[in-house]
Structure 1
Amino acid sequence: MEPLVVFPDALSGAPIGRLLAVAGHLADQRWGRYLAEHHGLTPAGMRVLFTLTHVDDATHGDVADRCFVRPATLTGIVDTLERDGFVERRRDEADRRSVRLALTDKGRERTRALVDRIHTDTPLTSVDADPAKRAVIRDFLIDVITTMSDGEDNRLSTQHQDPNDRPRPGSHSC
């Protein structure tokens, strides 16, 4: 896929939400390319590795739940990770129908390398190279994440509400 080229002038009047969505999309694309080229992974494969660092020797179903995918979807991801030597499948001794997943030494090494890469604080742009601006960006992103992670954004549902439907000052609605 050819990278998207965006011109700053085209974005100057865009709302913050749109800019955030485009920035997130482009960052996801770049991260996906980096993972593929330097680590032989997809973002989904990376999530499985990270999940297994916290719940090593977990059932296939538990990993699927934690990665927010269906077990059938996880099967293909794990097939690739197993083929590449990052993960191994084990039959549960107590229940031979159950498959457990565990990181291999190679999987643990790759996960450590990714964690080290993620925790480098290399600026993404010239703007976040400025510590004061970086702090504002960090606060904004944390606020967006926490606001939107509650599952419901009431601002979107009231944004298109008819002004005549809003309670008038002094009126009470039950």
Structure 2
Amino acid sequence: MGPLVTFPEVLRQAPLGRLISIAGHIVEQHWGRYLAEHHGLTSAGMRVLLVLVRAGDSTHREMAERCFVRPATLTGIVDTLERDGFVTRKRDPNDRRSVQLTLTDKGREHALAIIDLIHSDRPLTSVDADPAKKEVVRQFLTELITTMSDGDIRRLNPDREPVTDNPTGSRPC
């Protein structure tokens, strides 16, 4: 049996794309735990609150489009947000089929606290605590997001035709 390889050694040998995938997964789990423990929210619920803070009141259909989910999927998210006092629903008196979503004071308070945390720009690691390294990481991630957001999988497999789940080319909220 060969020598035991430690976890950090395995990570140092992993392809960069795999590291990005692992890091994204771990950050999403960490963020999800933080939202649940400190705000009583899911990531999906947080997105709804952030859209409402930024865009103001919204119809259910508009919110589903802005969050890139189906209206039926959004219903469960909004049910939870309404039950927990983050949003209210109001029927449009001129069109009873249309439902308007509005932030409550509690929803606004939590959304603003999350925005403050996001914009605090506290270093996540010793690497991004160094301004020069942070700028390199920022440039890399910005280019990665921009490149991968165009839906062209030929960048991953140049011999394959492009396939997209997002035919409108719009970007998530």
Which TM-score band applies after superposition, normalised by the shorter structure? 0.7 to 0.9
Q: Are the aligned partners of 1:147 and 1:153 in contact in 2 as well (CA < 8 Å)? A: no
SS, match of residue 102 in structure 2: strand
| Residues 1:83 and 2:83 are matched in the alignment | yes
Partners of 1:32 and 1:155 in 2: CA distance? 30
Q: Are the aligned partners of 1:91 and 1:99 in contact in 2 as well (CA < 8 Å)? A: yes
SS, match of residue 100 in structure 1: strand
| Residues 1:17 and 2:17 are matched in the alignment | yes
SS, match of residue 98 in structure 1: strand
| Residues 1:51 and 2:51 are matched in the alignment | yes
**Which segments of 5 or more consecutive residues in structure 2 lack a partner in the other structure?**
1-5, 161-173
User: Which residue is 1:62 aligned to?
Assistant: 62
Give, as a single letter, the amino acid of the residue that structure 2 aligns with 1:42.
T
Give, as a single letter, the amino acid of the residue that structure 2 aligns with 1:125.
T
Identity of aligned residues (%): 66
Displacement, 1:127? 1.3
Q: Are the aligned partners of 1:82 and 1:88 in contact in 2 as well (CA < 8 Å)? A: yes
More off after superposition, 105-114 vs 148-157:
148-157
CA shift digits 1:8-33 (9 cap, x unpaired): 11112111111001000100000000
User: Which residue is 1:164 aligned to?
Assistant: none
Q: Which structure is richer in relative contact order (CA contacts within 8 A, separation 6 or more)?
A: 2
User: Which residue is 2:39 aligned to?
Assistant: 39
Partners of 2:47 and 2:25 in 1: CA distance? 17
User: Which residue is 1:99 aligned to?
Assistant: 99
Displacement, 1:54? 2.8
SS, match of residue 156 in structure 2: helix
Give, as a single letter, the amino acid of the residue that structure 1 aligns with 2:84.
D
Give, as a single letter, the amino acid of the residue that structure 2 aligns with 1:113.
A
TM-score (norm 2): 0.85
SS, match of residue 97 in structure 1: strand
Query: Paired residues, what number?
Result: 156
Structure 1 ranges of 4+ moved more than 3 A: none
RMSD: 1.7
Q: Pick the structure with greater CA Rg.
A: 1
User: Which residue is 2:115 aligned to?
Assistant: 115
